[in-house]
Amino acid sequence: MDNNPTFPIPVFGGENYNFWKIEMKTLLRSQGLWSYADKGYMEYEDESILTEAQKKKLDGERMKDAKALYLIQNAVKDTIFPRILRANTAKEAWEILEQEFQGDSKVRSIKLHSLRRDFEILKMKEGEFIEDYFSKVIEIVNQMQSYGEKISDEKIVKKNLVSLTDKFDNIVTIIEETKDLSKITVEQLMGSLESH
């Protein structure tokens, strides 16, 4: 693991937390540090009972946690940093940000319910470009996934097919009759629709 990352660190300034969270999780995973933000590590009240090997392992855990905390601290703007200033571990800092910008489990559940509703009622508008409509669908799907929802390509494909405007009826019928909707990807569907 490189001690001095030479890649850009995504910086969170208070907006688009869900996207920053995904980027940050990927960055921490790439450095082998995600578990420290996600689950933390085990501390001991009485270190005198530890063997030398256990003490050495604990020192290594603390070092990795400090690296994860450092990355999180450097990934927030100065306006956000005071909120995590008192966090002593990566897990504490991560949980503070989660609580403030994503809410507790009840708030997340309410947001997810709202996003599910948005996904279900979303329909393409007359005159709307297919790319713009797909972008709206994917944006909602990404937000749902950031709240832990698992959505298959098949569900997204079927949603798109039933919510397009009437001008796509012929191509939708052809796609439904000639393609296995459980195997077509969202990108393949978009390519098929854009070519018509």
Taking residues 116-121, what's their average pLDDT?
Answer: 96
With 90 as the cut, is the pLDDT of residue 194 above it?
no
- Taking alpha carbons only, the member of 193, 191, 188 closest to residue 170 is 193
DSSP state of 124: P
Structure confidence by residue, pLDDT tens digits, 2-12: 455 577 899 99
Structure confidence by residue, pLDDT tens digits, 78-108: 999 999 999 999 999 999 999 888 877 788 8
pLDDT band at 192 (very low <50, low <70, confident <90, very high): confident
With 70 as the cut, is the pLDDT of residue 123 above it?
yes
Structure confidence by residue, pLDDT tens digits, 24-73: 999 999 999 999 999 999 998 898 999 999 999 999 999 999 999 999 99
The token pair that represents 112 in the structure block: 């997810």
In this predicted structure, what is the pLDDT of residue 5?
A: 55
The token pair that represents 190 in the structure block: 């978009």
In this predicted structure, what is the pLDDT of residue 16?
A: 85
Q: How far apart, in whole angstroms, are the C-alpha atoms of residue 53 and residue 35?
A: 21
What are the distances in angstroms from CA 114 to CA 24, 111, 135, 146? Answer: 25, 5, 18, 14
With 90 as the cut, is the pLDDT of residue 75 above it?
yes
In this predicted structure, what is the pLDDT of residue 3?
A: 55
For the whole prediction, is pTM greater than 0.85?
Answer: no
In this predicted structure, what is the pLDDT of residue 103?
A: 78
Q: Where are the domains of the chain?
A: 17-102, 105-194
> Tokens 């270190």 sit at which residue?
47
Structure confidence by residue, pLDDT tens digits, 140-189: 999 898 888 999 999 999 999 999 999 999 999 999 999 899 999 999 99
Taking residues 117-138, what's their average pLDDT?
Answer: 95
Angle at 38 between CA 100 and CA 141, to 5 degrees: 65
